[in-house]
Structures are given as structure tokens and as C-alpha cells.
């Protein structure tokens, strides 16, 4: 291995070691009854693996032990594990999004219930371990409304931190003397890049004149050519038996589709494709390439800082960046619905801000080759069989 590759391995081992310590500490605070919810079998178990790949960003049951069902001490220990999988800025963003549930409750007039006592509940974020911390293969997941963090550790190294979803509703909220915008940085950086393009480059980057109403990859465990946007009804754990909730979800989806104006043909045109749609980074000028690198780092920078540095160094290589494509849909004006996509062999970034009059944002960072560490897990199984 090259010196850079050796350094990257060391970083992945250090991140994994911190996760082992924090996960073990959290487990040590739990009662036997809580552990039943908190800890699933190893990812090597087919049932556990099926559950590990079942991820969400809607306000549904994400699986595991919810924060509201933990003592204050347990919650603090849980959040230390969450922080071990994020940079300082990434953790601050996640914590802010969780707190936005209180703001959203007020925006909705305190009346949306989603089949539970409180419709928007900052205590409904679930933490679940897969396997035992320190095992040869183990992982953990943290998620709730607008948050999904997924981590896999094999052989004492963190091998995957994606899918990594962060949303914000409201995307912009008034503060005394300012404005709260948890995802304002990634939105403004992408808009700056799109606005910097000349007419020919912009035409190449334009995926659609209007914005699709959600990220296109949805909560699929893997990404494939032709994947079109998933509708709201398919983004929950199971189906609603309560007709009131079923009608609520149908109404949200109907209004989103009406506002986007999309037909099935439009959704087909916006589907994930291989090779990617959009403008290739090789066709950007040096300043635009710099902006694209910065934009990518706002997503890979969610990872623990040392690991984020490894990702940033990867995209510093010109030949790597050349394989990345940038696409835009919708308006270039702030405050109006828009969507963008950044796609390469090991990268899929999606961002939309369309719903609630373009004040409800979704963003996801994925690795089509290694989401959930499926490639590393397959290699581990192959080696273990010999």
C-alpha cells in the first residue's frame, strides 16, 4: 500500500475504535429489557442484515431504542455514540435537525399526529446496534425524522458511513436577529456553481426545467440504473391501517406532485442513470472545479474529521473528479423549488428543497459501490468461507 493508503487505514481503525468504546459504554447503561430493542444480531445473520438495510427518513419507526425511552444518562451516552460517527459540524447539524421537530410542531399548528401521542417528537430518534461492539463484523444505525446514519465496521475498521441522510423542515426559520438554515451551506454552494455556468454548460447540467419533489434514490438499500422517485406511500415501515393516516400520506404526496407538475414521463427522465446525467466535471473551469470539490466536501465532511480529510483528498485527484457529474433541476432563484444531483462511480449526492413552498429540504450522501458496506461484507464472507 502507498503511504496515503496506509494513513487511510489507520484513520478508519481510529474511528472504529472510538465507536467501539462509545457503543459499549451505551450498552452498559441499558437494562436487559432495553437491550432487546437496542441490540440486533450480527450483520452476518440474514434477518439482522435485512433489518440493517431497511432505512428511512420519514417520521416512522426506524427500529431500535428510542431516545424518549431512555433515561437522561442513557440519552447522553447514546448521543456520544452518534457524535463518534460525525464531524463536529456534522453533529451540530444533526442535533439542530432533531431540535427542529419542536419548530415543525408549531408550524403545523400542533395537530399532526402520525398515529402517536405527539406528531413531531424530538424523542423519536432510534439507535440500534447490529452485533456486539468489537466483533469482527458489527454496525450501528441512528435515525428518525430527517436523519439516517448507517455505519459498518469490519475487522476493526469503519468500512461504510452511507447512506447518510439529513433533512430540514423548516429549511429556514427566523431567529432573533438572524436565520437558522441547517442545510443552507450545501444549498448556496450548489446554486453558486449552477449560476456560474455559461449557457452551454448550464444546458448540459439542466436535468429538468422544474424540480422533482423528493430525492430520487429514496430509501432504497441499493441504487440501480432507471430508479425513479419513490412516492411518499412507499417511504414508511409497513402500511397504514388507519384510514386517516393513509389519507394524510396520500394528500402529502398528491400536493407534492401537483406542485412539481411531474408526470410519469418526467419521473422517467429524472431517474438515476448509468452513466450519469448532467455536466461532467472535466468540462468545468478551474474555479468551478474548486467549487464542486467544496460542495462535495459539505457532504463527505459529515464523517469524522480525519475520515472526511481522506474523502477530500480522494476528490483532489483530477482523474477522480473528472468522473463526477453535476445536474440541476428547477429554479436558480433562492426561495423557489430546486433539486441537484452529484454523481460519480463512488458518489451519489442528492438535494431537494421543494415542499412547503421550498422550505423543506432533503439531502443524502451515498456510495453506489459501498452503501452499507455491502462490498466489504461480501468480501469478508468470501474470505471466511476459505
Last residue of a domain, one of 128, 162, 196: 162
Domain for residue 278, yes or no? yes
**Both 123 and 203 in a single domain?**
no
**Both 123 and 74 in a single domain?**
yes
What is the predicted pLDDT for the residue at 8? 83
**Both 12 and 74 in a single domain?**
yes
**Both 310 and 215 in a single domain?**
yes
What is the predicted pLDDT for the residue at 35? 98
What are the residues whose beta carbons fall under 8 Å from the beta carbon of 36, sequence distance 6 or more? none
pTM (predicted TM-score): 0.97
Q: Which residues pair with 280 in a beta bridge?
A: 325
Segments of the chain with pLDDT less than 70: none
Long-range contacts of 295-300 (CB under 8 A, 24+ apart): 295/186, 295/189, 295/190, 295/193, 295/342, 295/349, 296/324, 296/342, 296/347, 296/349, 298/185, 298/186, 298/189, 299/164, 299/186, 299/342, 299/349, 299/363, 299/365, 300/365
Q: What is the pLDDT of residues 81-110, one digit of tens each?
A: 999 999 999 999 999 999 999 999 999 999
**Both 154 and 230 in a single domain?**
no
**Both 361 and 215 in a single domain?**
yes
Q: Which residues pair with 151 in a beta bridge?
A: 140
What is the predicted pLDDT for the residue at 126? 98
What is the predicted pLDDT for the residue at 239? 85
What is the predicted pLDDT for the residue at 65? 98
What is the predicted pLDDT for the residue at 117? 87
**Both 253 and 312 in a single domain?**
yes
Domain for residue 195, yes or no? yes
Instruction: At 2, give phi and psi (nearest 5°).
Output: -75, 165
Determine the structural domain holding residue 34 and report its residue range. 3-162
Residue with cell 472510538: 18
Cis status, amide bond into 243, omega within 30 of 0: no
**Both 214 and 112 in a single domain?**
no
User: CA dist 250 to 62, 175, 219, 240, Å?
Assistant: 21, 33, 18, 11
**Both 89 and 196 in a single domain?**
no
What is the predicted pLDDT for the residue at 341? 98
What is the predicted pLDDT for the residue at 9? 87
What is the predicted pLDDT for the residue at 270? 98
What is the predicted pLDDT for the residue at 7? 80
The one-character DSSP state at 214 is S
Domain for residue 174, yes or no? no
Domain for residue 244, yes or no? yes
Number of folded domains that form the chain: 2
**Both 150 and 32 in a single domain?**
yes
**Both 191 and 122 in a single domain?**
no
**Both 81 and 209 in a single domain?**
no
Q: Using an 8 Å Cβ cutoff, are 162 and 223 in contact? A: no
Amino acid at each position: 500500500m502507498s503511504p496515503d493508503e496506509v494513513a487511510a487505514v489507520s484513520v478508519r481503525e481510529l474511528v472504529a475504535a472510538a465507536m467501539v468504546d462509545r457503543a459499549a459504554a451505551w450498552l452498559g447503561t441499558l437494562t436487559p429489557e432495553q437491550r432487546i430493542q437496542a441490540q440486533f444480531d450480527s450483520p452476518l445473520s440474514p434477518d439482522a442484515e435485512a433489518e440493517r438495510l431497511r432505512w428511512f427518513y420519514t417520521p416512522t419507526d426506524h427500529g431500535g431504542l428510542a431516545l424518549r425511552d431512555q433515561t437522561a444518562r442513557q440519552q447522553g451516552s447514546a448521543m456520544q455514540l452518534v457524535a463518534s460517527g460525525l464531524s463536529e459540524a456534522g453533529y451540530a447539524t444533526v442535533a439542530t435537525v432533531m431540535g427542529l421537530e419542536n419548530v415543525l410542531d408549531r408550524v403545523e399548528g400542533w395537530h399532526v399526529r402520525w398515529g402517536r401521542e405527539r406528531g413531531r417528537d424530538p424523542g423519536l430518534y432510534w439507535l440500534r446496534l447490529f452485533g456486539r461492539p468489537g466483533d469482527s463484523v458489527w454496525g450501528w444505525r441512528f435515525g428518525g425524522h430527517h436523519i439516517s446514519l448507517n455505519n459498518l465496521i469490519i475487522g476493526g475498521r469503519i468500512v461504510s458511513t452511507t447512506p447518510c441522510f439529513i433533512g430540514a423542515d423548516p429549511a429556514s426559520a427566523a431567529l432573533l436577529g438572524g436565520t437558522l438554515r441547517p442545510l443552507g451551506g450545501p444549498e448556496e454552494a450548489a446554486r453558486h456553481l449552477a449560476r456560474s455556468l455559461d449557457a452551454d454548460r448550464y444546458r448540459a447540467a439542466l436535468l429538468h426545467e422544474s424540480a422533482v419533489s423528493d430525492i430520487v434514490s429514496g430509501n432504497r438499500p441499493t441504487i440501480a440504473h432507471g430508479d425513479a422517485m419513490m412516492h411518499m406511500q412507499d417511504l414508511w415501515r409497513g402500511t397504514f391501517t388507519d384510514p386517516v393516516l393513509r389519507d394524510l400520506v396520500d394528500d402529502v404526496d398528491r400536493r407534492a406532485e401537483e406542485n412539481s407538475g411531474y408526470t410519469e414521463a418526467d419521473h422517467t427522465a429524472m431517474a438515476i442513470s448509468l452513466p450519469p446525467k448532467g455536466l461532467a466535471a472535466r468540462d468545468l473551469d478551474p474555479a468551478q472545479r474548486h467549487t464542486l470539490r467544496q460542495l462535495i466536501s459539505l457532504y463527505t465532511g459529515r464523517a469524522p474529521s480525519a475520515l472526511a480529510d481522506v474523502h477530500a483528498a480522494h476528490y483532489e485527484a483530477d482523474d477522480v473528479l473528472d468522473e463526477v457529474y453535476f445536474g440541476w433541476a428547477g429554479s436558480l432563484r433562492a426561495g423557489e423549488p430546486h433539486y441537484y444531483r452529484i454523481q460519480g462511480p463512488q458518489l451519489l449526492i442528492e438535494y431537494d428543497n421543494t415542499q412547503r413552498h421550498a422550505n423543506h429540504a432533503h439531502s443524502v450522501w451515498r456510495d453506489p459501490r459501498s452503501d452499507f458496506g455491502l462490498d466489504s461484507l461480501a468480501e469478508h464472507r468470501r474470505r471466511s468461507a476459505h
